[in-house]
Each structure stands twice: as C-alpha cells, then as structure tokens.
C-alpha cells in the first residue's frame, strides 16, 4: 500500500470518528435516543431563585437537579392538578411539613417521578408565592430556567 493510500485511509477514519461523535452529541441533546426527553438548552427566560429567603426549598431544588431533574419549567398551568396528583401519589403527609415537588406541578416536566421533599410550610409556601409572582404574567408553554443563587 502506498503512503498516499495509507494517509487517505487514516484521514477517512478520523473524519468518520469525528462525524460519529458529532451525531452522538446532537442526538443526545435533541432526545433522539430517549423518545424526545433529551435536555434542550433553549429557554425563554431565566429566573434566579433566592436561597437566602427560602433555604429549604433552594436545597431541594439543587438536590433534585443534581439527581437529574430538569432545571427548566415549561409552564403548564392546566396540567398542574394532574401533575400534583401523580407526583404526590403514595407520599405520606408529615405533620408540620409540606411535601415540596420538583419539578413543580405547574411545569410540564412535573408529575410522576418528581422529586419530593418535606419542607417547613413557611419556606415552601413563601417560595411558591415568590415563583408564582415571577411566572404570573408568562403564558403557558414558556420555558423558564430556574437557577438557585
């Protein structure tokens, strides 16, 4: 085999390898291999959640996202009741605590499989009110990234 043929074969192999890597990255980010549940990077808005005001809820959000929950909420107010029913199914109530859901029930990402944590009512309800005020004027379908600061 001539040097030129060997060089062309090596170049083709490198090109093929890079093409496979590129296709794999694109497929992962678009959800091609997981039925469309891939993590999209596009959001319409980002809000910064105040961990100093609501520390228990902030910790829950961080923990849930670290375990793989989405930091993005696609607003779906109509689906909130059903999402809440699914996410809290089988999770016992606990005296003097609320059951906090992440992703939240009002998010399309919420529902079955949501991460649940027991949070003191003042923290949980204050956090819910704060997020509700941030999202109040945004229409359903808006994708909001929630970053804990």
Structure-token match 């944590």, residue found: 117
SS3 state at 77: helix
Output the pLDDT for position 37: 47
**Nearest CA-CA partner of 41 in 23, 54, 26, 53:** 26
Tell which phi-psi region holds residue 48, choosing left (phi > 0), alpha (psi between -120 and 50) or beta.
Answer: beta
- The predicted-structure confidence for 59-75, as pLDDT tens digits, reads as follows 999 999 999 999 999 99
- The predicted-structure confidence for 123-146, as pLDDT tens digits, reads as follows 999 999 999 999 999 999 999 999
Q: What is the Cα Rg of the chain in Å?
A: 21
Please, which residues bridge with residue 74 across strands?
143
């Amino acid at each position: 085999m001539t040097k030129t043929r060997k060089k062309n074969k090596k170049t083709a192999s490198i090109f093929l390898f890079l093409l496979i890597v590129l296709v794999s990255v694109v497929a992962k980010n678009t959800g091609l291999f997981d039925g469309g549940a891939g993590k999209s990077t596009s959001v319409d808005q980002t809000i910064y959640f105040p961990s100093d005001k609501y520390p228990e809820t902030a910790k829950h959000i961080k923990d849930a996202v670290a375990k793989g929950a989405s930091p993005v909420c696609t607003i779906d107010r109509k689906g909130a009741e059903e999402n809440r029913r699914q996410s809290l199914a089988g999770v016992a109530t606990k005296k003097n605590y609320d059951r906090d859901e992440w992703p939240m029930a009002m998010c399309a990402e919420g529902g079955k499989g949501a991460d649940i944590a027991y949070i003191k009512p003042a923290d949980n309800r204050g956090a819910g009110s704060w997020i509700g005020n941030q999202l109040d004027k945004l229409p359903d379908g808006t994708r909001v990234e929630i970053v804990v600061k």
